[in-house]
Amino acid sequence: MSVNQYIKPWTTEVKDGHLVIGGCDVVELVKKYGSPLYVIDEKTLRTVCKEYIEAFTEYPNVSILYASKALATSAIFKIVTQEGLGLDVVSGGEIYTAYKAGIDMSKLMFNGNNKQDWELESALDVGVGRISVDNFHDIELLGKITEQNNKTADILLRITPGIDCHTHEYIQTGHLDSKFGFDLTQVDDAVKLIKTTYPKINIKGLHAHIGSQIFDTAGYVDEAKILVKELARINKEYGLTLSELNLGGGLGVKYVETDTPPDIKHVANTVIKTLLAEFKEHNLSDIELYIEPGRSVISTSGVTLYTAGASKQVPHGTKYISVDGGMADNPRPAMYQAEYTCDVANKMDITEKETVTIAGRYCESGDILIKEISLPPIVSGDILCIYNTGAYNYSMASNYNRVQKIGMVLVNNSQSDIIVYRETLEDLISHDNIPDRLK
Ligand SMILES: Cc1ncc(COP(=O)(O)O)c(C=O)c1O
């Protein structure tokens, strides 16, 4: 089994009735760093990075790019790149974070459907390795910037392969009616435009991403077939030698027991087998492969710790336990009806159970973190640990209700270190301005 098939971080254990992660009693972590708190288990993160590298070793020329949109912080970038991964980035902010963390910029791939001038300029300035061009506007902008700055850009063309993968509609991206990428009928015009007008743009290959939280490997097989066929066709028709393929990310994780994500090695084997057969059929060789997993790299390493506060028993109905965080630190349940699993970290030995709903503290009825879960009876002050919150939690966090964003610690071998400081009240007003006329 690979890391993405576990709900809890690999180092999770119970000691004296308390939940322990990375050798640290999480109840003590809350005492030390406050609540709520994101916790990242370094061992789990390093293990999954190694699993990805290992799973693709049979493919001769592969780059695994961590999709940093899942969780982009300087320390996380350090860890994943130390393990040999590159980075998929989608903003000037992610590029800047990587640059300041001292990451090798040639290992970055810059994606996005509406890149800004300054973002493309800074990508070229700092030497970002590849730019995935998403649409005609992107081509024109990049073409103009390469000419003005006398720089060349190595790009992939992002295409929409027309695959409906079975996941939430907001996280499907490869189906035809998607805002991302060139439709297959637009690819020729994109190639022609670049060839005729923008000599400083080098098309190196093709890119696609079919969606997120994917359990069915069949989508990757279809995607690989479409991309290889398209690459071979473009090479033949335009006398080009495109030699790079980026299959994107999307592999799922196990949030709850009913989730059945496939093993990383199994996905890798299936993809490699398909690619090699397709290359043979289309007479292609030496194709460099990229994959961009985000969620499956970081999700399982992360948990969020909350402190229980108010509770409400609706007569003959739901029992709500409110915690000190919610949709501002984890918007996924409200956005995608995402499900999670939870333990009461200071009551791990208690066998008595009751069914409760874990509610957030934010002023929205939809701010429910977990609907109906069976847990030991919870009283105010108990510490709740929600698992698998490493991906798309901190990265989608907000200051809704003017609440400070929460901090993040890294745990390993019984040591804990802050990797993101908790925001202060001063941080909250630091960007406010009161115009003179209001003073
Ligand atoms: C282009 C691209 N690559 C990679 C990813 C990462 O997907 P996941 O986190 O599901 O692996 C995304 C996510 O939206 C994406 O848009």
Residue 8 confidence (pLDDT)? 98
Decide if pLDDT at 171 tops 70: no
- Is 141 within a domain? yes
- Is 439 within a domain? no
Q: Ligand 1, closest atom to CA 132? A: 1
| Ligand 1 pocket mutation, candidates 52, 134, 172, 212, criterion most atoms within 8 A of CB | 212
Give yes or no: residues 280 and 141 share one domain: yes
Give every CB contact of residue 119 below 8 A, 6+ residues apart in sequence.
91, 92, 95, 110, 112
Residue 163 confidence (pLDDT)? 81
Measured in residues, the chain has a length of 439
Residue 165 confidence (pLDDT)? 60
Please give the helix or strand (H or E) that residue 225 lies within, else none: helix 218-238
| Ligand 1 centroid distance, CA of 230 (Å) | 21
* Active-site residue set: 363
Decide if pLDDT at 400 tops 90: yes
> What average pLDDT does range 316-327 have in this prediction?
97
Residue 176 confidence (pLDDT)? 67
| Ligand 1 centroid distance, CA of 33 (Å) | 31
β-strand partners of 62 = 289
Decide if pLDDT at 437 tops 70: yes
Q: Phi and psi at residue 183, in whole multiples of 5°?
A: -65, 150
User: Total structural domains in the chain?
Assistant: 2
* Token code pair at residue 280: 């043979």
* Token code pair at residue 36: 């709520």
* Token code pair at residue 317: 């109905």
- Is 187 within a domain? yes
Give yes or no: residues 156 and 282 share one domain: yes
CA dist 261 and 251 (Å) reads 7
Residue 166 confidence (pLDDT)? 57
| Ligand 1 pocket mutation, candidates 130, 178, 209, criterion most atoms within 8 A of CB | 209
| Ligand 1 pocket mutation, candidates 3, 52, 69, 213, criterion most atoms within 8 A of CB | 69
Give yes or no: residues 66 and 199 share one domain: yes
Give yes or no: residues 308 and 391 share one domain: yes
Decide if pLDDT at 169 tops 70: no
> What average pLDDT does range 31-38 have in this prediction?
98
Residue 173 confidence (pLDDT)? 60
Decide if pLDDT at 167 tops 60: no
CA dist 194 and 4 (Å) reads 40
Give yes or no: residues 290 and 316 share one domain: no
Residue 179 confidence (pLDDT)? 87
Residue 294 confidence (pLDDT)? 98
- Is 438 within a domain? no
Give yes or no: residues 253 and 361 share one domain: no
| Ligand 1 centroid distance, CA of 19 (Å) | 31
Give yes or no: residues 225 and 313 share one domain: no
Give yes or no: residues 32 and 78 share one domain: no
Domain of 74 in residue numbering reads as 41-298
pLDDT band at residue 177 under the 50/70/90 scheme: confident
* Token code pair at residue 168: 């939430």
| Ligand 1 centroid distance, CA of 297 (Å) | 11
Distance of CA 112 to the CA centre of its chain: 14
> What average pLDDT does range 253-272 have in this prediction?
97
> What average pLDDT does range 319-348 have in this prediction?
97
Q: Ligand 1, closest atom to CA 248? A: 3
CB 99 within 8 A of CB 129: no
Distance of CA 373 to the CA centre of its chain: 26
pLDDT band at residue 384 under the 50/70/90 scheme: very high
CB 293 within 8 A of CB 378: no
* Domain termination site, one of 298, 327, 357: 298
CB-facing half-sphere around the CA of 261: CA atoms within 13 A: 26
CA dist 128 and 437 (Å) reads 45
Q: Ligand 1, closest atom to CA 158? A: 1
Give every CB contact of residue 25 below 8 A, 6+ residues apart in sequence.
15, 18, 19
Distance of CA 229 to the CA centre of its chain: 28
DSSP state of 431: T
**Dihedral, CA atoms, 87, 92, 97, 98, nearest 10 degrees?**
30
Residue 174 confidence (pLDDT)? 59
Q: Phi and psi at residue 69, in whole multiples of 5°?
A: -60, -25
Average pLDDT, the chain: 96
Cα torsion 365, 366, 367, 369: sign? positive
Q: Residue 185 maps to which CATH number?
A: 3.20.20.10
Pocket of ligand 1 (CB under 6 A): 67, 69-70, 88, 111, 173, 209, 212, 248-251, 292-296
pTM of the model: 0.96
CB 160 within 8 A of CB 175: yes
State the CB neighbour count (10 A cutoff) for residue 18: 17
- Is 156 within a domain? yes
> What average pLDDT does range 29-51 have in this prediction?
98
Give every CB contact of residue 413 below 8 A, 6+ residues apart in sequence.
22, 23
- Is 435 within a domain? no
CA dist 124 and 143 (Å) reads 12
| Ligand 1 centroid distance, CA of 302 (Å) | 18
Distance of CA 183 to the CA centre of its chain: 24
Decide if pLDDT at 172 tops 70: no
Give yes or no: residues 13 and 48 share one domain: no
Starting at the edge strand found earlier in the chain, the sheet holding 24-25 runs 13-15, 18-21, 24-25
Q: Ligand 1, closest atom to CA 213? A: 10
* Token code pair at residue 427: 């941080």
